[in-house]
Amino acid sequence: MKNELIFSNPTRLSLVNSKGRCSFDPKFVYRVICPILLLVSLFAVSACKQSPKDQVQKILSNKQIPVEEKIRQTSFLLLGDRLKEIEISPAVVLNGSTSDQVKVTLAVGGNSALTFLEQKEYKERMKLEVALLSFRLLQTLKELPIESLRISIIKPYYVKNSKQEYPEEFEVFRAKLEKASLASINGFETVDSFAADSYDSPDPEVLDVMIRIVHSWKVELDELGRVEID
């Protein structure tokens, strides 16, 4: 790395010499103009780049994209590399026939067996992360015919007292949310689910909805208490 120095001789930075003639220094122009052009180009690119929220709205407003594909594309955009699996299937009514609504099953969790969380906070914080992902996804897709969302945590873990050096994947949590039950959660439709950078630092209104979601879902599997942080 080199230092940037400023010279005390002002004629070094002047385009006009003492005799009034233009003194053009190509190296100086290259050093000054090129960084400016680069900054302008970067600013233009960043200004044109759409946020995930804007990209999702573009997908949802496209009438040529089928419902299932809208759900799939939106899930990948909002969940990113945390999304491991997604399955979309028709909902079945009491007489055994299928309805126009669909059931969505997601697996999230990432690919790392490492965490920054402490033992005492691990279980609840993992649930809050799932709650935020569910909140953001279902609020975004509230106009689509989704009957329910089943979401699982599947991620790698090291097996205690095992001779195997590499982690194995386990499903440690699974819960089901009925979309109809979310309408009764205060703030589900009005609070901006994007007002949170992550599950552990949301706005108070977002956190309140996340906690209500945790209390409303039907837990089908909970092995988070068996996880030890070493």
| Residues 154-200 pLDDT 10s | 999 988 888 888 889 999 999 999 988 888 899 999 999 887 665 55
**Which carries the bigger pLDDT value, residue 115 or residue 3?**
115
Q: pLDDT at position 114, please?
A: 81
Q: Which residues, including other chains, have CB under 8 Å from residue 202's CB and lie 6 or more apart?
A: 132, 195, 196, 210
| Residue among 226, 229, 217 at smallest CA distance from 106 | 217
- Parse the chain into domains and list their residue ranges: 13-48, 52-226
For 96-108, what is the mean pLDDT?
87
As a whole number of angstroms, the distance between CA 143 and CA 137 comes to 11
| Residues 13-55 pLDDT 10s | 333 343 444 444 544 444 544 444 454 444 444 435 677 778 8
Sign of CA dihedral 198, 204, 209, 214: positive
As a whole number of angstroms, the distance between CA 51 and CA 136 comes to 14
Rg over alpha carbons for the chain, rounded to the nearest Å, is 27
As a whole number of angstroms, the distance between CA 13 and CA 6 comes to 10
pLDDT of residue 59 exceeding 60, the answer is: yes
